[in-house]
Amino acid sequence: MYMTMQPTQDATRSGYAARRKSPIGIGGAIAVHAVVIGAFLLMPKEVIDWVRPTPPITGYPVPLPPPPEPAPPEPTTQTVQTNPLPQKPTTTDPIIPMPVPAGPTIETGPSSPFDGSGTGTVIDPPLPPPHIPVLVEASIAPNALGSFQPDYPGAMIRQGLEGNVTVRVTISPEGRVSDIVKISATDESFWLATQKHALRKWRFRPATRDGVAVSSVKTLTVRFTLTDR
């Protein structure tokens, strides 16, 4: 259920209605402003000048004070030289010879460290020279000279041909031929006869180093010559 409220009085009759502006009041305000402006224009010039800013401060050079006068020199004191008292000669301690230690050779003489001068040189003994081993080359054993010549190949005898063979043999410490290499040969039959005979019959005195038998290599030439021609 809704209820409505109605005003008891008309709004036009209330005291809050807008009032109209009075033309007399507006004219009075304009007149007051006109009077103030006219009074300012008619004000004497002397009254207006007091608001003028003061002129800026100007500076001027200030002379520097004169330098201080130099201080007077201090009085010098005269030194009196006196003769020194004569000194008595001092006695030196006697020099006691030091025993020479055993070992390195010590150089004696003016520069010896034991002559009282305080200087000297100690010489070490010379080192022994390096050992050079004594080498002895291999040679044909004297008891093998008769059987050293290889057998003459029969084909070369029938043809009446002579020749020679040069070989390089390796000799063991026991004096035997352990290896043989052909360097040159007049004919292949001469080389085969020399190779077979050397491995079976050749004997040597082995090479030695400081008296100890060692392996060595030797080059030999074998000649095949016909005696009955």
Residues 207, 135 contacting (CB under 8 angstroms): yes
Domain residues of the chain, as ranges? 135-224
Q: What is the pLDDT of residues 79-126, one digit of tens each?
A: 445 454 455 554 555 556 665 555 444 444 554 454 555 555 667 788
Residue 58 has pLDDT above 90, yes or no: no
207-209, strands of its sheet edge to edge? 135-136, 207-209, 212-214
Average pLDDT (38-63) is 62
Confidence (pTM): 0.44
Which among 146, 141, 138 has a CA at the least distance from the CA of 169? 138
Please give the residue that has the higher pLDDT: either 66 or 84: 66
Count CA within 13 A, CB hemisphere, residue 101: 4
135-224 — its CATH code? 3.30.2420.10
* pLDDT attached to residue 179: 96
Task: Kindly state the percentage of the chain with pLDDT values over 70.
Answer: 55
Q: Compute and round to an integer the Cα radius of gyration of the chain.
A: 73
Count CA within 13 A, CB hemisphere, residue 70: 3
